[in-house]
Amino acid sequence: DSGVTQTPKHLITATGQRVTLRCSPRSGDLSVYWYQQSLDQGLQFLIQYYNGEERAKGNILERFSAQQFPDLHSELNLSSLELGDSALYFCASSVGPGNYGYTFGSGTRLTVV
């Protein structure tokens, strides 16, 4: 157990639907990051939050949104899902922005059918 909790582990949904992925960071970590991993694209950075505020955005589609709550857990919302959104979605946390190693959760495998 890495200390970063992601739910659900697996999700199968139809095209056009909306899903919410949840992440609880490791105790004491203030930064949360979302990454998408697909076979041919490696780990793609989506978005970062630090202590409740959005800190950086990567290649996140407009159909996707995220937030970090006062208790520091984060949710990634994916809407109008397409087949190409099928991937592993990882949440990671770190003590703060900058020169710290990331602790990854076990991921949510999303399959869009």
Partner 1 sequence: GQQVMQIPQYQHVQEGEDFTTYCNSSTTLSNIQWYKQRPGGHPVFLIQLVKSGEVKKQKRLTFQFGEAKKNSSLHITATQTTDVGTYFCAGVNSGNTPLVFGKGTRLSVIA
Q: Which stretches of the chain bind partner 1, using CB under 8 A?
A: 2, 33, 35, 41-45, 48, 55-56, 58, 90, 92, 97-107
Q: Residue 63 CB, nearest distance to partner 1 (Å)?
A: 21
Q: Residue 17 CB, nearest distance to partner 1 (Å)?
A: 25
CB distance 77 to 65 below 8 Å: yes
SS3 12: strand
Burial class (CB in 10 A: 0-12, 13-18, 19+), 39: exposed
**Minimum CB distance to partner 1 smaller for 35 or for 64:** 35
**Minimum CB distance to partner 1 smaller for 70 or for 101:** 101
**Minimum CB distance to partner 1 smaller for 73 or for 109:** 109
Q: Residue 90 CB, nearest distance to partner 1 (Å)?
A: 6
Q: Residue 16 CB, nearest distance to partner 1 (Å)?
A: 29
**Minimum CB distance to partner 1 smaller for 6 or for 78:** 6
| Residue 35 backbone dihedrals phi, psi, to 5 degrees | -130, 145
CA atoms of 59 and 18, how far apart (whole Å): 19
The dihedral sign for the CA sequence 90, 93, 96, 98: negative
